[in-house]
Structure 1
Amino acid sequence: MTAGRNFTHIPSTRSWLESRPHRLWLAAEGRQLLDFSKNARLEHGFGPLDGKGRLAEDSVADTILTARMTHAYGLAALQGLPGCGALAQHGVDCLRGPLRDARHGGWMPDEKHPDDRKQAYLHAFVALAGSTAVVLGLEGGQALLDDAISVLNAHFWCEKDGVMRESFATDWSDEEDYRGANSNMHSTEMCMALADVTGDPVWLERALRIVTRFIHTYAKAERYAVPEHFNRNWDMLRDYDRDKPTDSLRPFGMTPGHFAEWSHLVLKLEAALLLRGIPAPEWMLDDARGLFDQAVRSGWHVDETPGLIYTIDWDHKPHVRVRAHWVQAEAITAALSLFRRTGAAEYEGWYRRIWDYVDRFCIDRVEGSWFNEVDPKGHVSEEIYPGKADLYHAYQATLAPVLPLAPSLATAIAQGALDDQI
């Protein structure tokens, strides 16, 4: 079970998740994140903001950010938050227009690099944005989703392996000799949203195949530390990006934040299967526990200071020690998901403990939003992530505590799951 090191909060008989003041705090924090990121709007999508919430003069629309913003503002619009629906519609229009590859299909990474490779990671977020747009009823939302599903089926889904292929040249030639856990993790989230929106259970079947391979097979064999990098023959690439320890998508070693993220995705998939009357494998809860336990065992308080670090090496020792904001956000969601699933007080304790860390070190009460990363002592760092480009992880961490494990976020909000929460 999880270690009690530096455990400063003893859960009371009443959970924070049952507290109306806590839910009000979450809602207020979510709104400030949304308000800060509204400045990211560009003519052809959304771009990265600096620490003060400003766009650079030469900013161009980034497709991953545009898809994430479309999804996040779509979730906000479903709650009735003014101004958010227009931003989500802007995202749909740009994903269907200037950011789409009109010649070969699929999506470009940004306007400056139309010939860069087409990535599963990016396309998972485009499909997620499309699914949220459909739930919200945005103009062009169904067309965006249909287009994304067509691309996923034609190019990315590998039926033989039960995972997503990683990347291709812009004309869909030259498949990369790589299989990555990160892109498949976000594809798992996408698959659950697509299952809810399309009604097609094939997406849950695909999500389960992804989880079975990456978690129940490979991660379990590594004591629930998730290996990230493989070639197409499923040889584990232990030296992959050894010279790029701070790569933002494929760093060397293993990423405790991903252990936590996979943990709650496994529980959400279990809940999604059961909600549809589909049997869920008995190992899913044990695997979710193992993933979270390994995340905090190998990643928390490694410098005698709190916070989850970015990466560990193959001996489960700290490698890159900065604390990225998204890692803390995903650990919050994992802790609350395990508490909701098991009722075990230790997970309520972790939920409080990680929020306390975020409140002290991540929230920028001068300029707004969250610092993208801090160093072990809590000082602002830009070793991996410059500025404050991301809304997706932090905003979802304010929503997950007030929503069920299934269905997925947009569908749950549309079905009224928030109506009695705040």
Structure 2
Amino acid sequence: MNLLTDSSHREFLLDEARRSLRFFDASLRADGGFDVLDWQGAPLPRGPQELHTTTRMVHSYVLGRAIGHPNADRMIDAGLAYLWNHHRDQSHGGYLWAVGGDDSKLAYGHVFVLLAASSAKLAGHPDADRLLADISDILDRHFWEEDHGLYADEFTRDWQPFSGYRGMNANMHGVEAMLAAFEATGDAHWLSRAGRVLDFFTARMAPAHNWRLPEHYTADWQVDPAYSGNPMFRPAGTTPGHSFELARLCLHHWDLLGRPATDAPTRARAIIERAMADGWRADGGILYTLATSGQPAIRDRYWWPVTEAIGVYAHLLKLSPTEEDRQAYDQLWTFAQTHFIDADNGGWFPEIDDTGQPTTTQFHGKPDIYHALQADLYPLTPGLSRPIEGLANLTT
């Protein structure tokens, strides 16, 4: 049975999304920023507010608005105002990575500003156009490397490069944001740029590395196999969860192009199947990283690779699904319900220990609605692209 057409599963997905939205409503602060919440939904001690938190909240509540969440407009208004009045650097341009902390300018954060602006425009927000114009200019002037067709990664506050590092993660989320920008504006240059990034990773890097995706690169975009940065945010090796994510975006892009007769679906499936074969642990869940040889490296299990696997397998179920696809989708949701979803309070626990119980090794509280909400809502849409439009037209 294809769960995407099962009425009880679809009802579960909507209910789970609405529970998450209600849980994260409590994160909004009086100053318009967002607190990280503990497992029960109370604010944790406040620290710097990172750019990806603010922007992902805007995007997530635009999704929530599409399904009629009553508090969505308030959350979107607050997030956009905080971006413009606090993260935006009025002295040097661009957006600070952390208000009250790190003032560097990171591509990873800036592409999420593009996602927030594009999602807000799709929601008809009056502040979307100014944010979209500003972030488009910043990305063009400081991050986009036309010769490579990829985004550079990191600068100081006054736009001095402080490393030669280049990475897949920022570019992958750049694809996500550019596809949303195309959906919001119809400007084909976003679709073209997204295609260049996807071609580099899915048509060049993945087949050259047995359908795994190297994460880290030098300034001239050569794979840097020796790189080992922050073990949480820039771990060595490859990350199966990112393979699921990029494969979904590859199918999203192909759909927006009109589903041309290319090998994009074949490439996406090869990446997905390699990631599942590599990443799924015998006791369930998806391990965090692999060594460059393909052997397990960091075996920890976090929520977000499971959500991304759910999202891309939902895409496969909308195309020409196999029995293995149906089984994988069901297996992923069964594991999520058993180990990650907090049925009592709402939201997902971000990590589990070797016994399958929630733990706090890397994450404190429930720091994220974005990944889980997309796993809830993207399977409900009829197509592979234009999710906000698809949700707004949803009937269950």
Q: Same fold (TM over 0.5)?
A: yes
Residue of 53, 68, 74 corresponding to 1:86: 74
C-alpha separation between the residues in 2 aligned to 1:68 and 1:219? 27
Provide the C-alpha distance between the structure 1 equivalents of 2:44 and 2:353, rounded to a whole number of angstroms.
25
* Counterpart residue type for residue 191 of structure 1: M
TM-score relative to the length of structure 2: 0.96
Asked whether 1:189 is paired with 2:176, we answer yes
1:106 corresponds, among 94, 103, 112, to: 94
Residue identity (%): 33
Specify the code of the residue in structure 2 equivalent to 1:259: S
1:292 is the counterpart of 2:272 = yes
How far did residue 49 of structure 1 move?
1.9
Tell me the C-alpha RMSD between the 2 structures: 1.6
**Is the Cα–Cα contact under 8 Å of residues 98 and 111 in structure 1 kept in the other structure?**
yes
What CA distance in whole angstroms lies between the structure 2 residues aligned with 1:385 and 1:225? Answer: 26
Match of 1:241 in 2: 228
Post-superposition shift, 1:332? Answer: 0.5
Aligned pairs (5 A) from 1:343-358: 343-358=321-336
Match of 2:164 in 1: 177
- 1:126-145 matches, cutoff 5 A: 126-145=113-132
Task: Find the counterpart in structure 1 of residue 390 from structure 2.
Answer: 412
Aligned length: 395
Q: Which amino acid aligns with 2:279?
A: G
Q: How does 1:287-366 map onto structure 2 within 5 Å?
A: 287-301=267-281, 304-366=282-344
CA distance in 2, matches of 1:405, 1:239: 40
1:198 and 2:185 matched: yes
Equivalence for 1:67? 55
Query: 2:93 and 2:321 mapped to 1: Cα distance?
Result: 46
Contact 1:33 1:391 in 2 (8 A): yes
**Which position in structure 2 is the counterpart of 1:283?**
263
> How many Å separate the matches in 1 of 2:27 and 2:270?
38
Are 2:253 and 2:385, in contact at CA under 8 Å, matched by a contact in 1?
no
Partner of 2:152: 165
Amino acid at match of 2:158: D
Task: Give 1:106 shift.
Answer: 1.0
Choose 400-409 or 34-43, whichever is displaced more: 400-409
> Which of residues 340, 364, 374 is equivalent to 1:386?
364
- Give the equivalent residue in structure 2 for 1:124: 111
Tell me which residue corresponds to 1:4: none
The alignment partner of 1:45 has SS state of coil
Once the two structures are TM-superposed, the CA of residue 60 in structure 1 deviates from its matched residue by: 4.2
Contact 1:372–1:388 (Cα < 8 Å) also in 2: yes
Asked if the contact 2:25/2:71 (under 8 Å) is kept, the reply is no
- Say if 1:381 and 1:238 are closer, same or farther in 2 by CA, change over 3 A: farther
> What residue in structure 2 maps to residue 9 of structure 1?
none
Q: Give the alignment's TM-score, normalised by structure 1.
A: 0.90
Letter in 2 for 1:180: G
Q: CA deviation at 1:250?
A: 1.1
Contact kept in structure 2, 1:47 and 1:66, CA below 8 Å: no
> 359, 369, 376: which is aligned to 2:347?
369
Secondary structure at the aligned position of 1:356 is classed as helix
Instruction: Structure 1: state its 5+ residue gaps.
Output: 1-11
- Aligned to 1:401, the other structure's residue is in SS state helix
- Counterpart CA distance in 1 for 2:383 and 2:365 is 31
Q: Equivalents in 1 of 2:67, 2:32: separation in Å?
A: 25
Q: Give the direction of change, closer, same or farther, for the CA distance of 1:386–1:240 in structure 2 (3 Å limit).
A: farther
Q: Tell me how far 1:405 sits from its aligned partner.
A: 3.7
1:56 deviates by: 2.4
Answer whether contact 1:257 1:327 (CA < 8 A) is retained: yes
User: 1:368 offset after TM fit, Å?
Assistant: 2.6
Q: CA deviation at 1:173?
A: 1.6
Matched, 1:95 2:83: yes
**Which residue does 1:56 correspond to in 2?**
44
Instruction: Give deviations 1:334-369, integer Å, cap 9, x for gaps.
Output: 111112122322111111110000000001223331
Equivalent residues in 2 for 1:200-279 (5 A)? 200-241=187-228, 244-245=230-231, 247=232, 249-274=233-258, 279=260
Q: Quick one: which amino acid aligns to residue 234 of structure 2?
A: R
1:154 offset after TM fit, Å? 1.3
Unaligned stretches of 5+ in structure 2?
Answer: none
